[in-house]
Every structure is written in structure tokens, then in C-alpha cells.
Structure 1
């Protein structure tokens, strides 16, 4: 058969309408009722044999015409109060036999089911012991391990119900399942430890198990009883029987049961959160109907067991983590103590690193360095695998069947069928790779997992048929290692976190050392250059007296050159001061010394210094401050801010423009503004004006790009903020704030 044909058959099975079979099991009767009048709108066809009433005689009739007014009122009360579970049992006698009524609501219709009431049910437990729910729950709570919990559960449920076999079936990540606990009669074939292929329980069946805690089949050798009418009269759709106890099951499943040698079954879901974790599966060689009261007790056990499993698995995961903590602390210490990098530190602890994840070998990569310990693939194979792992983009990768996702691993699966790896986001190759060897283990399969189902012809074409052989198949698992546990994954993730923190700490320390070295260099260079520049300025002044700009041609040329030298020396001094300020700001050592300042006096000093520059370009320079504004600030530094902002405004404002400087109170702050009618700053450049070394190059040939950066640093050192707004062709405005009250000098 072609693979696509087999996939189609699987799809046919998966599409079987198990929620909408249109029929029920024959041991009971099912009615659907309209609300609120409780009229019978559907009924199972076997009402004629069990209740001696024809379906046609009941359809459209009120419920009390079948069960009497008193019982109908009880159903009405349950429906109105939604007390389907907590209400007293509904026991009725019909056609000389006693029945128990079960009621639920689903998709806007009431479903009332009647099944035989078994008053004298006695389980045929192998140990002859019956059990009550309270004692059983106490026994469950006494379990100290998961294995003990499973064993108590299957033993108690078998004692309560009398099933020949009770087992717990756990789903694995790959889809198949394993029997992990079993209580069986001596005559039963033992399934404990066996694996069952995923196709034994199709996905839609698992979804039904997830939403419905309990399912029961008293006799798998039955003929389904159809509903009359087949479709719901109110919707024209099939009735959804997902939560009906009497729901007819797939004929494939009934055949499956008979192939396993059982005629009766009950299954109870085991949940972990909202996911299906496994099943409690009960089977009996002969037909067996367990009363509803006992089924409810078994469902309670399943719910308690689900909570116990979740709690104990969480505790087990916690223990797995705790077992790794000491080794992780030692590896963290080794990384911190390394002189070079974190991976060199790990390379000094190979045995500890291997024991951390119970690996057979470990490889440590840092750029060109590759350390191997234990049983590892060859260096070239490790490098190729590491490159593939990097391409996957996963910070931590784990696989116990590496060749299935990375085919080249088949070449070295004897030593590395499993790999666990972690790496750091660095520009060079790096990481730790743990390897586990191939473990050729024999898994006992109940049936052949490679050929799980047979085929049969049906009206719908070829479809799957349940397996008829339950022989144990020995499947040799090639290229498989033992699985990486939750504790192993936790260890890899925690080691990665620790390595990342240590690596970042090293980077920060290196950067801090570089900043300190740069600051020291700037300070030394600035200090050493300041004296020569002062000497140059003095000598230029002396030489200027010897040469007149009005003298002979040679004298004028020399005088002009001296002027240029003085200007260059002045710019050099300004640049040295800016570099020192920049270094202090970046190092967080910029200090201001605040004193009481009068804003009007600051404006007068700024005007006297800058007005001549503005007058040369015919620019109107105006100052406006609220009367009596007092601040605490560093006079030299704040004057530096004002002169820088006003100087820039003069530089970039065309002739005959205007510049306005203002100061006004705004609560606890003084807001200073420098507004000009200049050329403006492009919107895409505006966010970067306070960045270091940013400068408007046009009309600014000597700008260093440090002025606004230093200005921002000074304002922030005073506890204020500075912002810029601009519109191309219309001018710019720079606003900064200074608090009215300064507590201490800010660093």
C-alpha cells in the first residue's frame, strides 16, 4: 500500500463520528426533552422492549406521561437549578423493572437516560475485599511515591468494581502509551510495562476522553439502538452524545475489545491541567454493568489521582532541580575564577560537567578552542553539529534521537545518539554539548507499531480494522539514548544563565577598564597639552607686537599667520575642555557646585558677551525673565549652557533674524527657552541633536559635535531636562529646566 493510501485510511478513522453515532447501547433508554415544557422530542427505539411503549406513542408527549408527575417534577427541579450531580437519585419503576435516571444538558437540549438500577451489586474482586470511597481516598493520600500511588489506585478500583483487569495507561510525548500499573485476575494476560501504538487511541477519541471523565461499555457484543427520529427536530442535526453514558461506541473499538479478550470496559480519564495525561482502563471477560454510584466513586478517584499525580510530579521535578544545585554552584564558581573566559572555567571541571547531566561525554567550544572529555564524536563532527545547532536558533537544545532530526548523527550514534547543548549570544562560536550513547533497549509492544491496524471493506470504502494480534513485539531502538530529564534541561538552562551573567560581567568590567583608561589618557593629554597651548598663545601675543598688520607686505602676512595661530590655539583649548567634560559625563563624575543665582543678572552677563556677535549679523537679540527669579545653580556651568545655546542660535540664524531668550517659573522649576528664526533642523535629525559628536555640518565648519552633548550633561547634573523642537525654514527652540531648589551637588 502506498503511504498516501494509508494516511487516507487513518484520516477515515479519525473522521468517524464518535460524538454523533445516532444510536445508544441497548441496556438503557435515552430521551431528549425540550425546555421548559419537558416534552419528549427524541427517544431510543428500545423503549418498546424495555418500557413497553412505542416510540411513536411517546414523541411530542410530556415527560410525566412516561414516568409520572412526581418524577417529572424532580426532573424539572434538577433542570431549573442545574443540580444534575448533587440531586437525589432518580429511581423509577417501568414495565416492572427498576431504573435509575441520569440527566444532563448539552447544546441546548436535556438528555435523560435510564439504565437498570442494580441494588444488590457485589463486585467479584480477586481478594474478596470491598472498599468504600473514604478509606480508599485515605489510602491514596498515604502514597509516598508515584509508583505506590498507581498500585493503590488500580487495586482499590478492582476491589470496588470487580473488573478482571484494571490498569493505568500513560501517554508518552511521541503519542504512544505505556501501561505503568496493573491489577489483574490470575486468568488474565498481563499488560504491565507494555507499549501501545498511538493509533490504538485516535486523536478524536483522546479529545473525548479529555472532555468527559468516564466512559462505560457493559457488553461490547451489542447491536446499537437507533434514536427516533434520527435527527433533532429542533435543529435538524444529529444529537451530540459526548456526555451520554449510553452513547454507542465505534464498532472498531468494540472489535478491539473482543480481540483483547474482554467484553466489558470502563475508562476514567487522568488529567494534568487541561491535558490528557493517561487513563484508568478497566476490562472484564464477561459482560459487567457497574452501578452509577460506584462509577461516580471511580470518577472521584480519577480526579483525586489526577491532582495527586500533578502534585507528586511537581515535587519530583523540584527534587530533580535540587539535585543539580550544588554542582551548578561549583561550576559558577569555576567560571568566576577563570582568568580568560567562562568556557575556560568550565573546561577545568570536565567530570563535574558530565555528572551534571549524567552524560557519557562533553565538548566545550570557545572560538578556535575545542575541549573534549569522555566519549565524544570527532572534532570535525562536533563542529558541524554545533554549526547546525546555531542555525536552529535554540539557546538550549535536547534530543534523545539526534539522527532523526540531524541525519549526519547516524555516523556517530554509538557515542552520541542523544545531545543536550547550550550556547551564548556571542560573535564567536561557543557552547557546551553533552553526549549520551546509544542504548539498544528492547521495548515490549502490544502489537506491531509499524503495522498497527488491518484493513476492511465497508460501505464508505476501505477503512481501518482493529488489530487481531496482541503478541509482544520486540523492537530494537537504534539511534536512541536515554531521555534527558527535566532536571537535565533545568541544569543546562541554569548553567547557560549563569554563564551569560558571568560573561556579561566580564564584558562590563572590560568596558569599565577601557573607560577608565580613556579618561586617564584624556586627563593626562589635556593637562600636558594645556601648558604648551598657553605658551603658544603667549608667544603669539609677543610676536604680534613685533609685526604690524599695517606694515610692509611681509609683515602683514606674518601678522595674519599669527592671528590664525592664536585662533587655532583658542579652539584647541576649547576642544580640550570639551573632551574633559565629555569624559566626566560618561564616567558619571560630572560635578556642579550650586549657589544662589539671580536669573536677570545671568541674562545681563550673557547679553554683554553675545550681543556683539549678534549685532555683526544684524540679529535682534532679546532677553525676557520674570521679575525676581532665583535659582540655585553652578554659575559657570549654567552660563556655559546659555552661551552655547545662544551661540548656536546666532551661528545658524541668517542676517536680520531674531533670537529670543526667556525664563519663567513653572511650579518647582524654572524653564529657560532659546528660540531663533534660523534654518531649523530636519525632522529625521532632531532626535540625535544631543548625541555625542553630532553636529550640523552646514555653516558649521569648526563644530566638534560635543557642545549640545555637554549642555545636556550640565542640565541633567542640575536635575533638569532639555528638549529641542524645530521646523525647517522657520527656526528652532531649545528649552531646559532647572529646579528652584538644589539640595546638594549632583554627580
Structure 2
């Protein structure tokens, strides 16, 4: 093929993949198709063969009520059908016209009513139908009684062949890679056998698969038909082509018809097999001669397909359940090993290499935990495993599986003899970690129906080059390299479950370590606090005694000593306060902060707080006001509430400039008391406001001696009472703290 021909081939192949098969603008000739308006049922479009079948020109029918074509009685029956809440073709309308009998099929799609008049099969191909419907119930029972999936497939193809008379009935299953394999077949003696063969993905293009997923059944009675166009070609109401995706008479691609002829069949029917709403496979029927299966038999075959789909889903689910059950004991042993490991979960797994390998029937495993790498069985080299693990991390998958690793990770081709298959899991940790299971290459020969690399060909015509489906379906043997045995559903379940257990155990270890760290810190704070309090008390007492001996009004040396003693007392007091704050912080962090609530009078609490803090306010000429609604009672710990108010009001005084104002207010708010402490000070910048209740937050300017624990402890006290606290502030206008406390009896 020349470069020009190759370019033309690639272009045509892309166009084929995107062919609008739902909008062919034509139907097959074994019936008529009309689109009707509602509710008047005027004819909007009609297939051109209305003239050959019924002796009426399309132009004479367009825009006319369908009654003019069907007659009054049959039009009334149609009107009754379209008024039903759900259209169903299980029992089609029987329509008699021009000495012929038609099956009337109805469906709505894309805002239009589509009415198909399919020629009854007895008139189309007399005496060609084998089987009947009397044994359908027994057929369905045999399907439900199949002991295995393969037995289920075999029963299905035999029953459908007996029911319909097709020369060949096969089940075609789609593989993960996109191609398909024939897994069951019932064929006449003259038919070429396809059972076990693989077919390229291009035999059933993407858009065809999507149509098959939505539409259970398709039929082509005669692949040699001449397509019948619709008149007019576009919908009068929208100016768009008519979507025939759900029409029984839809015309198919000429390439597909030629494909059928190349396979030696002139008639076909396909029934979709769905699993979890996705296309799992097809029941594909073919006949050497034209064959029109009646609508009733097609509905029976569709029922078989639906039952088969349910049975496949149920039996595969049972198989998955069985595979999972086989893993339970090993997963339990590995979970216990992770629990018992003194270091980390991966060390525990490394102590059970045989169990870990047998869990997924792997030939080798690698276990990574930071700088540690454990290898067992047949594995790539350490540097190769590290590079592979780095690639896996970039992918971001918690569990990764491939039975053709070199296809997605080319460096693996160098060691595909030990690692053509990879199953891997890892945990979300800051260090490298994970378990990698390896399976070796299993060279096998796959039998394809024709050359999988040449599903389509190119031919020249008067209109230029065009695609031609492959003409050869001879067995094409391909040796598959770099392929391992596939990982089963059970293997994937085992990897996911092991990851879950590892994650739970790893988190539990982290929690225990955190708890131990908190306990250690609490013990340290308690010991330091206890051991420092006595010396601090002694220092304070000695400072008090020394102050009596040195006066700030005495000689120069005496004044210096008095100032130093005062500084020492202030430092001792500050250290005592810091020790209290550290103890409170430790209890809050550990969730062990306790309160002793009782019923308190808010007015009395305000009086005590005002008496304590008024000197601070007077020292800066700050106006401070405490206001409370009358007779407010709260349920709170008096010492802790006093601590909250002292901290908030003290901060307000500290950060309010001279001659400023501070307001403290309490009011009833539902079933709680709402306290507000508001100042007109410098305010808190917006970017800092979300952090004011964090540990060690402090406004550096104007508060050089702050510990940064006051608001954190205040929040802890409020929340210990079941309340909440928030801060609002605007730079240059002041700050408001609002907190709630439970109402007292």
C-alpha cells in the first residue's frame, strides 16, 4: 500500500468508527416506517416503499392523518395504543393493508412517534421458520437450572437455534482489551466453526456497541437488500435526520452487510447481553439464506437474552463470592501478622511471605517500606522494582493490576519473564510503601478469526477509495508475548482487602503513638509544674521579705534592689500563670478538661469581674460597661467562667487605646445565654482572624508578654460547657468576641 493509499485508509477507517449508524436516513425493505405527530397522528415522514407495498405515493400521504392510510378501525386501535402510559411491542398491532398483514410496532424517541409496519414473516419467507413458542417456559427453566456458566452458554445457543432455525448461533464475549471471543456455538454441519476464536475490536465499532447496549435486539433478514430512503429525508419539525436507534427496520452500514456476506451468511440477528448496565457480550445468529424471524419469536429470543444476562450476573457474582471466601483465611493470618508486628504493618507482612504470595497465586512479591525492600520468590532486580514503584506512585492508583505490564510500562519488557503480570497496592503515607505481586510470562497461541492487524481493507471504486471488510476468516495464530495469567476478581478483592486492613492497622498505630506522645507530654507537664511550683512559691516569699528591707524611696542602691525584687516577683507571677496555662492546655488537648457547673447569677459574675478589672481600665482612662438582662441564670463552672471573662475583658482593655471603650453584655438567646465582649481598639487583621483560637497565637505588637494560650484555653472552657465562641473584627474599628453558655434553672 502506497503512502497515499495508507493515508486514505486511515481517514476512511476513522470515518467508519464515527459513522452515524443511528441516522442512516433509510430502512430495510421488509416493512414501512412512518413518523407521526401527536396528538393528531398526521404523517410527517414515510418510507419510499409505501408505493411498492401499498400503491400509495409518499407525497399523497405527507401531512395527512394516518387514518387515511389505515382506515378508521385500525387508526382507532393505533390511537388507543399511543394513549397507553407505556408503549410496548410485546403484543404488536395487527394491521391488514393491500392484502398483506403487518406487525405494527410503536415507540417514541427524541420527541417523535415512530410507527413501523413490519411485513409479517409468513408473507415474507413462507415456511422458513423452525420451532415454536410452546416450549419457551421449559427453555427458560433449563437456563435457570444450568449448573455452570459454560453450561448456561451451551444451553442458550442450542435453544435459540432450535427456536429460530438459524444455521449458526454463538455467544460472543467482550474482553477488557476491546476484542471479543466466541465462548459457545451451535452450528449446522455445513457452517465454519468459530468457537474459541478471537475477533478484533474493530469488527464491532464503538458506536455500534453503544447502540447494542441501549437496544436489546437487531435483525437483518436479507443482507442483499436495497435500502429504502425516508421521505422527506429530514424531519419537518426539526430539520434534523431521524434517529432510528430503536427502530427494528433501521438500515445498517453497507460495510456490515458485506462483512456478513464475507462470513457466508445473508441473514443475522443479534441479542445484547448486559451486565450491570454495560455490554457484556452478544448472542449472534447467522443463516446462509435470507431468513425473517417473526416478531413473536424475536421477543422470545430477547427474553432468553434477558434471562441469560441475569443468570450471567448472578453466577459471576457467586463465583466472585466463592473466590473471596477462599481468601478469608489467608487475609485473617496477614491481618494478625500486621497487628502483632512491633514496627509497622509492612514488617508484619514481610514475616509471612508464603501466605502473601499464595494470597494471589503469585510467583514473587516485593514489600517496600521507606528504605527497606523485601523480595521473595521470582522478582525483578531491586533497582527495577524501585523504578516500577516510582511509576506506580505517579499513577496514583491505590490498587493497580495488569496482566500485560510491558504494554503500559515499557521498561518491564526487560524482565517480563518474571513480571509480565503485576498486582500492587500502597498506603497514603509520606514514605515509599507498598506490596507488589508478580506473575511470569505465559506464552500462549491465540487463534484469531483472520489477521487481527488487518480487519478492514481498501478497494478502489468509481467514487474513489472505500473500505472493504476483511474477506478472510481463516484461523490466524498469534503467539502472545509479555502476557501473564489474568488476575481474578478474587485476587483484586484480596489486594483491596489487604490494603484496607493495612490502612486500619497503620492508622491505629499512629493513633496509639499520638496517644502515647500526649500521655508522655501530660506527665512531663505535670511533673514540671509540680516541681517548679514549690521553688516559685519560695522565690515569691523571699521577694516579699526582701521588699521590707529595701525601700523604693531610699538611697540609690536601695531603689535599684527594690526594682530588681519587683521584677523578680513579676517574673515569678508570670511563670506561675504560664504553668497554669500549660496544665489547662494539656488537659484540653487530651480531652480531659473537666468542669464543675452550678447555677450562677450573671449579674453577680459581672460585678466580681468588674471589681477585678476596673483598675486596669482606669489606668488607661478606658470606659468599661457591664450590662445584663435582669435575672439571667447560667449553668457553668464559676471559676472557669470567671477565667473566660477575665481573659476576654483583659485582652480588650490591653488592646484598646487610652480613652477608648469596652462593653460586656449578656442576653437570653433561645435556650442559652449569649455573652459579648466588644472594644473599639486596633482590631485584628482579616488574615489572622481565623487563627486567633489556635495554640500560641498572639498579637506581637502591643502584647510582647502574651503566651498565646489564653484564647485557646478560653475556647476549650466554652466548649467544655457545650457552648461555642467566635470572633469578629475590623482593623481600626475594634473586635468583638461572642460566646454562649447553657441557661441555668
> Which of the five TM-score ranges fits, normalised by the shorter chain?
over 0.9
C-alpha contact (below 8 Å) 1:103/1:113 kept by paired residues = no
2:286 corresponds in structure 1 to 283
Q: Which moved more, 1:436-445 or 1:114-123?
A: 114-123
Paired residues for 1:379-528 under 5 Å = 379-458=382-461, 461-528=464-531
Distance 1:667 1:21 in 2: 69
| 1:254 CA displacement | 2.0
Aligned residue in 2 for 1:558: 561
Hey, what does 2:96 align to over in structure 1? 92
- Per-residue CA deviation, residues 422-481 of structure 1 (Å, 9 max, x unaligned), is 111111111101111111111110011111111112455322211111111111111111
Helix, strand or coil at the partner of 2:255: helix
Tell whether 2:375 aligns with 1:375: no
Structure 1 residue 340: deviation in Å?
A: 0.3
> Which residue does 2:715 correspond to in 1?
712
The residue correspondences of 1:185-196 to structure 2 (distance < 5 A) are 185-196=188-199
Residues in 2 aligned to 1:635 and 1:448: alpha-carbon distance in whole angstroms: 89
Larger mean Cα displacement after TM superposition, 724-733 or 189-198: 724-733
Larger CA deviation: 595-604 vs 213-222: 595-604
| Bigger Cα displacement from structure 2, 656-665 vs 153-162 | 656-665
Aligned equivalents of 1:626, 1:194: Cα separation in 2: 88
> Which of residues 175, 180, 186 in structure 2 aligns to 1:177?
180
State the match for 1:584 in structure 2: 587
After TM superposition, give the deviation of residue 69 of structure 1 in Å.
4.1
What does residue 201 of structure 1 align with? 204
The aligned counterpart of 1:263 is 266
Secondary structure of 2:322's aligned partner:
helix
The alpha-carbon deviation at position 575 of structure 1 amounts to: 1.1
> How far apart are the structure 1 equivalents of 2:735 and 2:148?
75
Partners in 2 of 1:61 and 1:581 — Cα distance? Answer: 89
Q: 1:327 maps to what in 2?
A: 330
Give the drift of 1:63.
Answer: 5.1
**CA separation in 2, counterparts of 1:596 and 1:91?**
88
Matched, 1:272 2:275: yes
Q: Distance in 1 between matches of 2:264 and 2:702?
A: 97
Q: Is the 8 A contact 1:13 1:463 kept in 2?
A: no
Query: In the alignment, is the contact (CA less than 8 A) between 1:123 and 1:159 conserved in 2?
Result: no
Whether 2:160 is the aligned partner of 1:157: answer: yes
* 1:490-543 deviation line (CA, Å, top 9, x unaligned): 221221111111111111111111111111111111111111111112222222
- Distance in 2, Cα, partners of 1:312 & 1:253: 33
Contact 2:595 2:720 survives alignment (8 Å): yes
Q: Deviations along 1:663-721, whole A, 9 cap, x unmatched?
A: 33444433333322322222222222221111111111211111222222222223333
Contact map agreement 2:92 2:105 (CA 8 A) in 1: no
| CA distance 1:556–1:238, change in 2 (3 Å) | closer
Going from structure 1 to structure 2, the CA distance change for 1:460 and 1:201 (only over 3 Å counts) comes to farther
Alignment of 1:23-172 (within 5 A): 23-31=26-34, 44-47=47-50, 50-51=53-54, 68-81=71-84, 83=87, 85-87=89-91, 89-92=93-96, 94-95=98-99, 98-107=101-110, 108-118=112-122, 132-172=135-175
Aligned residues of 2:54 and 2:97 also touching (Cα < 8 A): no
CA distance, structure 1, for counterparts of residue 742 and residue 700 of structure 2: 33
Question: Residue 658 of structure 1 corresponds to which residue in structure 2?
Answer: 661
Cα distance change on mapping 1:643 and 1:240 into 2, 3 Å: closer
Cα distance change of structure 1 residues 364 and 92 upon mapping to structure 2, 3 Å threshold: same
Closer, same or farther: CA 685–16 of 1 in aligned 2, 3 Å: closer
CA gap 1:210/1:634 in 2 versus in 1, 3 angstroms: closer
In the alignment, structure 1 residue 681 sits paired with structure 2 residue 653: no
Q: Tell me how far 1:634 sits from its aligned partner.
A: 2.8
Counterpart contact for 2:677–2:738, Cα < 8 Å: yes
1:618-697 paired onto structure 2 within 5 Å: 618-697=621-700
Deviations 1:146-173 (A, max 9, x none): 2122111111111111111100111122
C-alpha distance 200-651 of structure 1, shift in aligned 2 (>3 A): same
CA drift at 1:555: 2.2
In 2, distance between residues paired with 1:182 and 1:524?
83
Moved more, 538-547 or 694-703: 538-547
Residue 118 of structure 1: SS of its match in structure 2? Answer: helix
In the TM superposition, what is the alpha-carbon distance from 1:599 to its structure 2 partner?
A: 3.2
In 1, Cα distance between the equivalents of 2:668 and 2:42?
81
- Gaps spanning 5+ residues in structure 2: where? none
- 8 Å Cα contact 1:30-1:111 kept in structure 2: yes
- Name which of structure 1's ranges 639-648 and 500-509 shifts more when overlaid on structure 2: 639-648
- The farther-off stretch of 538-547 and 228-237 is 228-237
Aligned partners of 2:425 and 2:586: how far apart in 1?
Answer: 39
Cα displacement (A) at 1:98 = 4.7
Task: Give the drift of 1:416.
Answer: 0.4
Q: Structure 1, residues 189-217: CA drift from partner, whole Å, max 9, x if none?
A: 11111110011112232233233322222
Contact kept, 8 Å, 1:91 with 1:117, in 2: the verdict is no
Stretch moving more, 144-153 or 211-220:
211-220
1:253 matched to 2:256? The reply is yes
Residues 464, 620 of structure 1: alpha-carbon distance in 2 compared, 3 angstrom cutoff: same
Q: Which deviates further from its counterpart, 684-693 or 21-30?
A: 21-30
Distance 1:116 1:490, change over 3 A: same
SS in 2 for 1:601: helix
Are the aligned partners of 1:515 and 1:587 in contact in 2 as well (CA < 8 Å)? yes
Q: Which residue of 2 aligns with 1:312?
A: 315
Displacement after TM superposition at 1:347 (Å): 0.5
For residue 22 of structure 1, report the CA deviation from its aligned partner: 4.2
Structure 1 residues 589-624: Cα deviation after superposition (integer angstroms, max 9, x where no partner): 222223443333333333332222222222223333
The answer as to whether partners of 1:121 and 1:291 remain within 8 angstroms in 2 is no
Deviation at 1:313, TM superposition (A): 2.4
Distance 1:246 1:635 in 2: 86
In structure 2, distance between residues paired with 1:429 and 1:151: 49
Aligned to 1:745: none
1:344-382 residue CA offsets vs partner (Å, 9 max, x unmatched): 001111111111111111100011111111111001100
Task: Measure, in 2, the Cα distance between the counterparts of 1:229 and 1:597.
Answer: 88
RMSD across aligned C-alpha pairs, in angstroms? 2.7
CA 1:150–1:603 in 2, change beyond 3 Å: closer, same or farther?
same
Structure 1 residue 227: Cα displacement: 4.7
- Report the number of matched residues: 739
